[in-house]
Structure formats: structure tokens, C-alpha cells
Structure 1
Amino acid sequence: MATAVRAHVWVGGKVQGVYFRAATREAAQRQGVAGWVRNLPDGRVEAVFEGPPAAVQRLIDWCRQGPPAAVVEQLRVAYELPEGLTHFEVLRS
């Protein structure tokens, strides 16, 4: 099995009020990726994904479009050391 990776992601555009967090959780669970997602006060969505490299990359690729009502205008990704997260959750804003 491949070593886990951790991606810290910030998504900008029309990404709040469009089911982005819940859809991200569903996508992460389908990919077997752990982490979290939350809304930021500046209108962006922030997320952390931990898991197998290919699964994390698929989730990052999914974030480039997000759910149907989203309009993603920017995506920033920073790779960090994995912390051993075991589940995915939506955090309160």
C-alpha cells in the first residue's frame, strides 16, 4: 500500500451555500480519504485530505469543479506531513 499523503486545500469562488462541504465529505468517503472541510469567513472553503496519493489527487481534482451549483475560481494546494487522521468530518465555520 502506498504511503499516505496530506493535502491542505483552499477553494475560492462561489463555494459557500452550494452544498460544497457536504459534497466534499461524500466524495472523500467514496475515495477512502480522511480529513475535514470547513467554510472560511472570507468566502472560501478550506479542507484537509489524508490518504493514498491517488485518492487524494482524485479528491483535489474533484474540488476543481465541486458540486453542480459551485463555481470554482481558484484552488490552492499545499502538501504537509500526514497526521494519521482516520475519518472525514465537516467542521463548523
Structure 2
Amino acid sequence: MLVAKKIIVRGRVQGVGFRYSTKIIADKLGIKGSVWNETDGSVHIEAQAESDAMSDFMAKISVSPSPYARVDSVNSKDIPVNEHLHRFRTL
């Protein structure tokens, strides 16, 4: 089943390759969506994929895909699926 989530990651996640590393993981898992920095220092992700791939993605994000980052918290909520997404973008 296709699921979509809005994910907010807090910690040392800007300026340390977190978005780039997130994109690499998303591409490997077939995740569609985007990742971007927010002015409050957090990273926001909108992602959609089959539920198993999403579970793997969430697990990898939670432990930080970048060796230089530190994830303090990950919050997510379900959002509507967007059938028009075709790739994962870094904004």
C-alpha cells in the first residue's frame, strides 16, 4: 500500500550532508518526494512509498544517514498521497 508522510528531523542536521545522504537512501528505496532545510534548523521531508520501503526509510533517517549529523528527534504525520511524484528531490 502506498503511504505518504511529512517528516520533521531535529538535531545537528544542517550543513552536515544530511539532505544529500537522505536523497541517496530515498533513491535506493524508491522513495518519492523532497527534503529541505527550514530556518529553525530542522530538516523537513515529504516522502511517499510502499509501506515496507517507508518503514525502512524512517528507520534509516532516525539514526542519521550522514556520519556528521546527529538526530535528536523525528516526528512524522500521514499526508495525502500525490500520484504525480516521480522522483526524490533535494530543495
Q: Provide the C-alpha distance between the structure 2 equivalents of 1:12 and 1:18, rounded to a whole number of angstroms.
A: 13
Q: Provide the C-alpha distance between the structure 2 equivalents of 1:80 and 1:52, rounded to a whole number of angstroms.
A: 14
Deviation digits for residues 2-50 of structure 1 (CA, Å, limit 9, x no counterpart): x210011000000001100010000000001100000000000000111
Q: Structure 1 stretches of 5 or more lacking a match?
A: none
TM-score (ref. length: structure 2): 0.94
Q: Provide the C-alpha distance between the structure 2 equivalents of 1:28 and 1:19, rounded to a whole number of angstroms.
A: 14
The aligned counterpart of 1:75 is 74
Aligned residues: 89
The aligned counterpart of 1:52 is 50
Identity fraction in percent: 28
Runs of 4+ in 1 over 2 A off after TM superposition: none
TM-score (ref. length: structure 1): 0.92
Deviation at 1:61, TM superposition (A): 0.9
